[in-house]
Amino acid sequence: MAQAKEPVVPRAVEAEASYLGRHLRNIDGGRIIIPPEWRTPARVTSFIVSLWPIHTREYVVVVPPARWAAYRRNLDGREMTADQAALIKRWIGVCASERPVDSYGRLLLSEAAITLLGPGKEVNLVGCGETFEIWPVDKLEDALKKPIKPETANIFNSIRL
């Protein structure tokens, strides 16, 4: 088995929008309204929606098409066995789906996402730059209360804005 390489960092992509901030929304009929400031003149008509992390399924990650292409390049650029690649692609394929956005800016969620988040429930949309996440309100609050590990704090401190 080949020795693992450092992770491939996806190249920056021209993001359709900059997803920043936190927005409280309700799931209505399996749809969720995308904040107006996250919409662009060149309207995105679909997103890749996935339960995330794959192994624990705590929230939903929403990825625009251009960023999804970067993730695919990242996966293809990693050194791994054929079995590892097949397993990872299979799990992503099982947990992810392409979902439409209607002309009113409502994202139609997958059945799995609705089940995880709770139909008719309040959720938080959390901007993560080139992607965004959808969290059950209580789970996000719990996640934000966790202390930041020193290794992660070092990364925060090294970022130059």
Is there a domain that residue 8 lies in?
no
Average pLDDT, the chain: 87
Domain of 107, CATH number, reads 3.40.1550.20
What is the tally of structural domains in the chain? 1
Helix H or strand E encompassing 75: helix 65-76
pLDDT score of 97: 94
Q: β-strand 96-100 against 22-26: which pairing, if any?
A: unpaired
Nearest C-alpha neighbor of 136 from the set 61, 62, 59: 59
Q: Give the tens place of pLDDT for each residue, 34-85.
A: 999 998 777 789 999 999 998 899 999 999 988 888 888 888 878 888 898 8
Is there a domain that residue 133 lies in?
yes
pTM of the model: 0.83
Cis peptide before 10 (omega within 30 of 0): no
Is there a domain that residue 12 lies in?
no
Is there a domain that residue 17 lies in?
no
Is there a domain that residue 143 lies in?
yes
Is there a domain that residue 72 lies in?
yes
Q: What DSSP designation does 19 have?
A: B
Q: For the chain, state the CA radius of gyration.
A: 17
Is there a domain that residue 29 lies in?
yes
Is there a domain that residue 83 lies in?
yes
* Domain of 141, in residue numbers: 22-158
